[in-house]
Structure 1
């Protein structure tokens, strides 16, 4: 008698759709189960492969399903789409997930631990609050400009904006407008405190994580980048080399090849947008200090700046940082400054 060897699960808020097949890919299970019954139903089945899309709640369910003795694989949603047939619905989605999970060449997303998800949540919350603070600072600057009160851009100019709110005479800034501007200032200060608290939690976690501490030794990689790499690159062994990690982050050129001819375009911007942004910020900051450095990396940066725009140079340096970070994570080695110099010399 055939038995189910692989189940595709289309996750949702309340009702989950399942599609199970045997070794010959014959469908043996097509069923909807409610959220509360999902784990209980899987607990009754013999150990098999359970495949899900790598969506928001997938890592939580993956940990719970693995605890039952099943093997769990998470497939990127973009890789499931080619297997979806016409007249898309939950049953067809579950079948497509099941089909994608059985492909030998398929790439899977490693399951994150609850701790890694929690630290990632700190990053996401901090990023949201920084965005909200920027919006409020821009609103404050824009409202002041309506009354002819101008200040330079940048969060560091906030004290100047605050002084304009408090010190501008009433004939130039009506009191009813001043009350609105004070509300914005209060919101900005509260966000400052919240952001500082989140950064303190990240710093405490960083001090207790060996991988994050080693990553922070790399020039251009600070607290935010190190902690983000430590929790978002769950298994560096899934990447064959540092270039694969840089490509996953989206720091490699897009290729368009045909007839033996290869054209390289802009960077793909695929993968993790937060990691890419942090690596770019770190590289941009590092370039400032390398402009006067006599090291091999400094000479490489200056030579590249002489013939390429600064943003292109920052991308190239961010690519190098991603590759070096992979070496530190995959080999479990401390950062060796000579590796960065060798990478610059070989470029």
Structure 2
């Protein structure tokens, strides 16, 4: 297993497999998915390295099933190592070369349960965007006829229903039918979004790890599932510290060090987990606004109040989200429950 390393470049219909032993290339050939399954089943235990992509988690699970040591590696890192033109053979070879680099960071794969939760989350995100887009389109189209929707007249529902029922506004039958279909589509999307939320809440009951995370400040069903998806493989050693997990999500300040001088900046705009980070900060901000309105009961609430006094609500929300990720990492790796330290009163 230590001497044989296989670099796998995944594609939709073909898979490029580069097999090396003692840093010597033994073969670099193209296989179909069925042939690759047979290759895994008939090979002795070895290290199989996949370039992270849409299907890499599935193939990692298959490699582990056949007793191999499977790992995922960043496609960006592989591209920086590849010395020549981009071909399937060069990519597979570059994957092996990248895996041999010192202190290389591999990417955590996902289990089948995590993939299912992530797929449901992606469906919900798309449905939420579609609902917002349909709502904005209907509001804008009605505004062209000087029909405004506000809470006083029942919102968007009231504006559309009154428009369809008003026989004297001069709208044609075809336009009324199109507007009615658009409103029905909006209602269908809204009902679908509610169904997705119910599915996610029901999934939490079947995942004890997610249920434990609900005790954290600013963590609801959505954030609990996000943390479980991002950190669920923490016990496999993908992150060595909670700080690394928080940095992966994008909640630690950017660092620029040169000449023995270190300078910390903001958390940065361009990160891979923008949706997770945004939702964690939003939940943390809601918790911060709730804490500053009353007397602190725990040591963390006292820390939040002092931080708000020094740096403001936004900075405190980011700091709380950072602490939440670290605490969640410790809970998942150590199997512990969250219990806030209460302030002792005399």
Flag the 1:66–1:173 CA change in 2: closer, same or farther, 3 A: farther
Q: Does residue 53 of structure 2 align to residue 42 of structure 1?
A: no
SS in structure 1 opposite 2:121? Answer: helix
Residue correspondence of structure 1 range 133-152 to structure 2 within 5 A: 133-151=131-149
Matched-pair contact (CA < 8 Å) for 1:51–1:101: yes
> What residue number does 1:225 align with?
223
Matched-pair contact (CA < 8 Å) for 1:8–1:19: yes
Q: 1:174 aligns with which of 161, 171, 174?
A: 171
Flag the 1:317–1:18 CA change in 2: closer, same or farther, 3 A: same
Tell me by how many angstroms 1:93 deviates.
0.7
> What residue number does 1:188 align with?
186
> What residue number does 2:107 align with?
109
Tell me by how many angstroms 1:305 deviates.
4.0
- What is the distance in 2 between the residues matched to 1:171 and 1:260? 77
SS in structure 2 opposite 1:338? Answer: coil
Matched-pair contact (CA < 8 Å) for 1:120–1:232: no
Residue correspondence of structure 1 range 1-347 to structure 2 within 5 A: 5-23=4-22, 25-151=23-149, 159-168=154-163, 169-172=166-169, 174-175=171-172, 176-237=174-235, 238=237, 239-268=239-268, 269-295=270-296, 296-306=299-309, 308=311, 310-338=313-341
TM-score, structure 2 normalization? 0.88
Flag the 1:43–1:158 CA change in 2: closer, same or farther, 3 A: farther
- What is the distance in 2 between the residues matched to 1:40 and 1:245? 36
Flag the 1:290–1:172 CA change in 2: closer, same or farther, 3 A: farther
- What is the distance in 2 between the residues matched to 1:195 and 1:104? 46
- What is the distance in 1 between the residues matched to 2:266 and 2:152? 34
SS in structure 1 opposite 2:77? Answer: helix
SS in structure 2 opposite 1:103? Answer: coil
Tell me by how many angstroms 1:304 deviates.
3.9
Bigger mean CA offset, 325-334 vs 50-59: 325-334
Tell me by how many angstroms 1:213 deviates.
0.8
- What is the distance in 2 between the residues matched to 1:318 and 1:158? 39
Tell me by how many angstroms 1:67 deviates.
1.9
Alpha-carbon displacement from aligned partner over 1:147-199 (angstroms, at most 9, x marks no partner): 122235xxx99951111111143444724444333222211211122122222
Flag the 1:319–1:60 CA change in 2: closer, same or farther, 3 A: same
- What is the distance in 1 between the residues matched to 2:92 and 2:234? 29
Flag the 1:228–1:37 CA change in 2: closer, same or farther, 3 A: same
Alpha-carbon displacement from aligned partner over 1:209-232 (angstroms, at most 9, x marks no partner): 211111001121011111222233
- What is the distance in 2 between the residues matched to 1:191 and 1:264? 43
SS in structure 1 opposite 2:341? Answer: helix
Unaligned 5+ segments in structure 1 are: 343-347
Unaligned 5+ segments in structure 2 are: none
Matched-pair contact (CA < 8 Å) for 1:147–1:173: no
Matched-pair contact (CA < 8 Å) for 1:17–1:33: yes
Alpha-carbon displacement from aligned partner over 1:123-151 (angstroms, at most 9, x marks no partner): 11111111111111111111111112223
Bigger mean CA offset, 121-130 vs 310-319: 310-319
TM-score, structure 1 normalization? 0.88
- What is the distance in 2 between the residues matched to 1:334 and 1:28? 49
Tell me by how many angstroms 1:91 deviates.
0.9
Alpha-carbon displacement from aligned partner over 1:20-77 (angstroms, at most 9, x marks no partner): 1111x11111111122321113333322111101211011111112222221111122
Bigger mean CA offset, 174-183 vs 196-205: 174-183
Flag the 1:41–1:208 CA change in 2: closer, same or farther, 3 A: closer
- What is the distance in 1 between the residues matched to 2:168 and 2:308? 51
- What is the distance in 1 between the residues matched to 2:112 and 2:154? 40
Bigger mean CA offset, 67-76 vs 135-144: 67-76
